[in-house]
Structure 1
Amino acid sequence: MSTLTNSSAGYRTLWRWHFYAGLFVMPFLVVLAITGTLYCFQPQIEPLLYPRLLEVAPQAAPRLPDDALLAKARAAMPADARAVTASIERAPDRSSEFVFRLADGEKQSVYVNPYSGEVLGTLSVEHRFMQIDRMLHRKLLLGKPGELLMELAACWTLVMIGTGVALWWPREKTTLRVALLPRFALKGRPLWKNLHAVMGIWLALGALAFVLSGLPWTGSWGQQFKALASAANLGAPPGSWGGLPLRSVLPGATPSQPGAGDPTQHQGHETKDNSMPGMVMDDLPLPLTPWAVGKSPVPQSAASSAEPQPLPLSQVVAQLASLGLVDGYDIVLPASSTGVYTVSYFPADPKAERTLYIDQYSGKVLKDIRYGDYGAVSKAVSYGTSLHMGRYFGVANQIVCAAISLGLAGMAFTGCVMWWKRRPKQQPRSLGAPSRERAAPPMRGWKTGLVLLGVVFPLMGATLLAVWIADRAIVGRATQRTA
């Protein structure tokens, strides 16, 4: 067997599609690779960036109660700032973090020494390094348009992987072993082409896993996929798409009174975060939320003249410890008289994921959503997410993800070098795309595959059609036939 040659039937057609896919994907792939690698090592990087805020000296003295720490954080913020989230960490060398929403809508994290109660400082949630890195990774800091561009890049990566593997596939007399090892004896463009092909085949499976595990989190296709999985009882737990009356019951209120827990009552002054009608878990001020519960409805506020006393944060934390949650979770604080404590536990092991809603007055657990409540699709996505983020098997997972990500960036570099070396120097404005074959085979399998991709990913299907039309109407047969 030998690798598919330039004269093989269908070679140039596949090469042409591989070229167009790479032309679009490569710039985004570099961004994804760099930002993804950085985010993978967030646990190691953030303490280096903010040591005075995140780290404290371990002490033998007992930690202050969470209520006292929250009071210290609140005293350091403006009077009109509202506490929205408490991050519960019990590592002896970590500070306590509380997130506040300011009057202008910005969120600020306040860090407190859990032993002395000293306020260590504040940090903007939106402008901290890892949040910027995450938004670059997801949407290029461009909002919805950037999110759609990244989704398109992920979809086109599937085309690039498929055509790349087909171009590499060994045929005739070349052994598989030779095809899997780089040939450094080559010179010039053949060397770059060989490096590109060998590196690509080694990275293909990892790149495919990255794309498939990342797509469920996209803003367009991912949301539709989640809705479809839930409709087929394969996604979110029962009740996550509406009809779940998760509200704290005001002491002494009757079901007919506002704020008594009636899910049909939406009157009164609505506040942000966890009390506006129609809001879901994805809308809460949480750093991470399990994919399966992203669309779970959150409590809704209702006007009331009652002045009940909610449970203190420390009591809720103690109750959660009795339920098996000790640290590493976030609590969204009630924002209204009918709000609840919303608890999100998103650990490295998907089987341990939990989302709880606790009545702020009685401490009653209104809902405890666990991994076992997920549908089959949500379970698979949970594992894919943990692997994608480099969390599932510790540092080794991080290293594997970084190797794949940086390898893909290397693919972008070698692809650019190959294009630069074969570009038509007499036509500097030409893209240098491989010419179409005069007698290309039907390639029905590939065409069917592209159509199916376009159906499964409609946004990609529209761009596939646009590229096909532009290739024939604009580029035509003017491209040079170069090897």
Structure 2
Amino acid sequence: MTSTLAGVQREEPPAPPPGKDGAGGTGSTGSNGGTWRGLRRILLRAHFFAGVVIGPFLLVAAVTGLLYTVMPQVEQAVYRHELKVDPGSGRERAPLAEQIAAAEKSVPDGTLTEVRTGAGPDDSTRVVFEEPGLREGYTRTAFVNPYDREVLGTLETFGQWLPVRAWFDDLHRNLHLGDLGRNYSEIAASWLWVEVAGGLALWIGARRSRARLRRTLLPEPGAPAGRRRVRSWHGAVGLWAAAGLLGLSATGLTWSAYAGTTVDSLRSRFDSATPAVSTELPGTERRSAGGGGSERAGSERAGSDAAGFDGAVRAARGAGLGGVLEVTPPSGKGTAYTVKEDTRSWPVRQDSVAVDPDTGKVTATLRFDDYPVLAKLSRWGIDAHMGLLFGLPNQIALALLALALIAMILWGYRMWWLRRPGRAPAPGGWRHVPGKVLAPAAVAVALLAYWLPWFGIPLVLFLASDLALGAVRRRRAGDGGRDRTEVAA
């Protein structure tokens, strides 16, 4: 039911004549049964349309997402040489300044942008550079043995993702088609929740009067072979997967191209954007420019930079930050180092501090506990979407959701095929919904279409085709009636 296809329910029964329960051509009803009948026609038609037209987008997103779920293990296996070191016994870590100096020799044309400490004693240090000629959003990362300063290798990276995971991440987001390709994933995310919600209503609504809980919650393996058995699997699996798929739809929209902009503007309006620690140093106007720093940061800085990266890390540890730390050098005169935790598994640790490059003192602190609620939810949701929040159980859950969605899409197409010759629910179901229900629903849908353009554009196409098909059907019915009258005469 979440998924995509048409025949979640039985074939649509013929509409009762006007006046019996109000579900006839007048579009009004005096009973809840008539209202539900009209709404069900719309839901069934929309579910069918989205299944047939949006189904391929959802199928691609599910398959590429399934592949992405195993990338953490693949990444660790493929890049073990760059990621892991032998800590030995009693070996001490070299200062970050010396590790950075070694990395700079391996990337002579790079501009240092970030240093990332290892999570454990057997993890390498990552030194990240901007380098001419790289694709937008990509950087060059040098992996350094923190004990003997050996550069283990350099890789082109996308954020934290190494090449293999970055390739599959790009495949899932845009099919390696750039901005044009991002439309596919936004269409999938914009319509997945519609399929889930509509399918839930159809599946549960059809069974509300049967008093058979098992047939709602579980498939019917003993049902006669054919459409009924397929429908039972489609609906029951969709029911169990619904919550997870709704979460994937919501989190997928947060970083989509168009809907993501809407989400960001709404978060800003409600003062719930993700905050950042202030890097402006106090009394900047009274600071005098001094000598160059001991480490290259890609921009001129005020003061002596006596603290350096090592001092910034010591100050951050003293302020309570732990785990993997991302250290960003000052961006210019009068600015501080930024040190941020990067533990995105549960419990999330995202505290950050600003450190004065001259004195090594913490000048500002931002705790994850102080984030706005929506910013926290966004962080948790995105990390869960990427399989990071709960580690391996999170990856397994995502893989199961992807498999469930793939199965429901295929079951949906199978039901469509078995429904021959009338493969589509009848158009024009909206004409049987009472105005007091249709009017607010139309307003709500119009607002959603405005804020989620890749929900709105296919919806307009669906409505236009539905109106056209309904008009053709009514015209044929009218011509048939006239023909029968002439024969009788």
Give the TM-score band, short-chain normalised: 0.7 to 0.9
Instruction: Determine the C-alpha separation between the residues in 2 that align with 1:401 and 1:410.
Output: 14
Change (3 A) 1:101 1:383: closer
Alignment-derived partner of residue 398 in structure 2: 401
- CA distance, structure 2, for counterparts of residue 475 and residue 65 of structure 1: 74
Deviates more, 1:450-459 or 1:59-68: 450-459
Residue in 2 that maps onto 1:325: 321
Query: Residues 62 and 324 from structure 1, CA distance in 2 versus in 1: closer, same or farther, beyond 3 angstroms?
Result: same
Query: Is 1:33 matched up with 2:29?
Result: no
Q: Equivalent residue for 1:388?
A: 385
Correspondence for 1:416 = 413
Structure 1 residues 365 and 24: CA distance shift in structure 2, 3 A: farther
Question: How far did 1:401 drift?
Answer: 2.4
Residue aligned with 1:151, SS: helix
- Which amino acid in 1 is paired with 2:314? A
SS of 1:327's equivalent in the other structure is coil
Counterpart selection for 1:471 from 461, 466, 469: 466
Which of 308, 314, 317 pairs up with 2:310? 314
**Structure 1 contact 84–335 (Cα < 8 Å) conserved:** no
For residue 51 of structure 1, report the CA deviation from its aligned partner: 1.6
Residue in structure 2 matched with residue 184 of structure 1 by the alignment: 221
Offset at residue 234 of structure 1 (A)? 3.7
C-alpha offsets along residues 46-69 of structure 1, whole Å, 9 cap, x if unaligned? 111212211223311122222211
Aligned letter for 1:87? R
Deviation at 1:448, TM superposition (A): 3.8
Correspondence list, 1:228-377, <5 A: 228-237=266-275, 246-247=279-280, 254=286, 308-309=304-305, 311-347=307-343, 348-349=345-346, 352-377=349-374
Asked if 2 retains the 8 angstrom alpha-carbon contact of 1:310 and 1:360, the reply is: yes
- Return 93-102 or 30-39, whichever deviates more: 30-39
Deviation, 1:215, is: 2.2
8 Å contact from structure 2 (residues 430, 438) kept in 1: no
- 1:125 match: secondary structure: strand
Question: 1:419-477, CA deviations, whole angstroms, 9 ceiling, x for partnerless residues?
Answer: 3444659xxxxxx5333267952066477446424414341234322321233237864
3-state SS of paired residue (1:434): coil
**1:267 equivalent in structure 2:** none
Distance 1:103 1:315, change over 3 A: same
Letter in 1 for 2:11: N
SS in structure 1 at match of 2:87: coil
Query: Which residue identity is paired with 1:333?
Result: P
Structure 1 match to 2:250 = 212
- Matched residues in 2 for 1:318 and 1:90: separation? 16
- Which residue of 224, 234, 238 maps to 1:200? 238
1:120/1:415 Cα in 2 relative to 1: closer, same or farther (>3 Å)? same
The answer as to 2:474 corresponding to 1:441 is no
Long gaps (5+) in structure 2:
1-7, 14-36, 291-296, 477-489
CA distance in 2, matches of 1:410, 1:446: 33
Tell me: higher relative CO, structure 1 or 2? Use CA pairs within 8 A at least 6 residues apart: 2
Residues 477/331 of structure 1: CA separation in 2 closer, same or farther (3 Å cut)? farther
Deviation at 1:17, TM superposition (A): 0.5
- How big is each residue's C-alpha offset from its partner over 1:254-310, in whole Å with a ceiling of 9 and x where there is no partner? 37x8x89xxxxxxxxxxxxx99xxxxxxxxxxxxxxxxxxxxxxxxx7x78x77445
CA distance in structure 2 between the aligned counterparts of 1:337 and 1:148, rounded to whole angstroms: 41
The structure-2 alpha-carbon separation of the partners of 1:123 and 1:420, relative to structure 1 and needing over 3 Å to count, comes to farther
**Change in CA separation of 1:392 and 1:103 when aligned onto 2, cut-off 3 Å:** closer
Q: Percent identity?
A: 30
- Matched residue, 1:429: none
Query: 2:413 is paired with a residue of what secondary structure?
Result: helix
The residue aligned with 1:115 is: 147
Mapped to 2, the partners of 1:138 and 1:378 lie a distance apart of 22
Distance 2:329 2:469 in 1: 57
Q: Which whole-Å deviations, capped at 9, do the CAs of 1:311-330 have from their partners, x for residues lacking one?
A: 32122112211122233232
Of 170, 173, 180, the residue aligned with 1:138 is 173
If you compute each CA radius of gyration, which structure gives the higher value, 1 or 2? 2
Q: How far apart, CA to CA, are the structure 1 residues paired with 2:442 and 2:392?
A: 37
The equivalent of 2:31 in structure 1 is none
Change (3 A) 1:454 1:355: farther
Cα offsets for 1:102-134 (capped at 9, x unmatched): 222452111122222222112111471111222
Return closer, same or farther for 1:324/1:454 CA change in 2, 3 Å cut-off.
farther
Two-structure CA RMSD over aligned residues (Å): 3.5
Structure 1 position 144, deviation (Å): 3.0
* In 2, Cα distance between equivalents of 1:392 and 1:446: 41
Output one character per residue of 1:325-344: Cα deviation in whole Å (capped at 9) or x when no partner: 23323222335445542333
CA distance in 1, matches of 2:430, 2:315: 72
Question: Does the Cα contact within 8 Å between 1:349 and 1:386 map onto a contact in 2?
Answer: no
Q: TM-score, normalised by structure 2?
A: 0.76
Shift of 1:18: 0.4
Amino acid across the alignment from 1:65: P
1:250–1:421: structure 2 CA closer, same or farther, 3 Å change rule? same
- 1:249–1:361 CA contact under 8 A, matched in 2: no
Following superposition, the deviation at residue 384 of structure 1 comes to: 2.4
Aligned-pair distance for 1:143?
Answer: 3.1
Residue in 1 aligned with 2:99? 69
The residue identity in structure 1 corresponding to 2:235 is A
How far apart in 1 are the matches of 2:430 and 2:460? 22
Distance (whole Å) between structure 2 residues aligned to residue 401 and residue 446 of structure 1: 36
Query: In the alignment, residue 79 of structure 2 is paired with which amino acid?
Result: Y
1:6 aligns with 2:11: yes
Question: Which deviations, in whole Å up to 9, do the C-alpha atoms of 1:53-105 show, x marking residues without a partner?
Answer: 1122331112222221111111112x222222211114122222112222224
For 1:435, the aligned partner's letter is A
Other structure's SS at 2:432 match: coil
Contact 2:116 2:324 in 1 (8 A): yes
Give 1:360 shift: 2.8
Which residue number corresponds to residue 173 of structure 1?
Answer: 210
1:59 aligns to 2:50 (yes or no): no
* CA contact 1:249–1:359 (8 Å) conserved in 2: no
Residues 321, 351 of structure 2: 8 Å contact kept = no
Say yes or no: does 1:455 pair with 2:447. yes
Q: SS state of the match for residue 330, structure 1? A: strand
TM-score by length of 1: 0.76
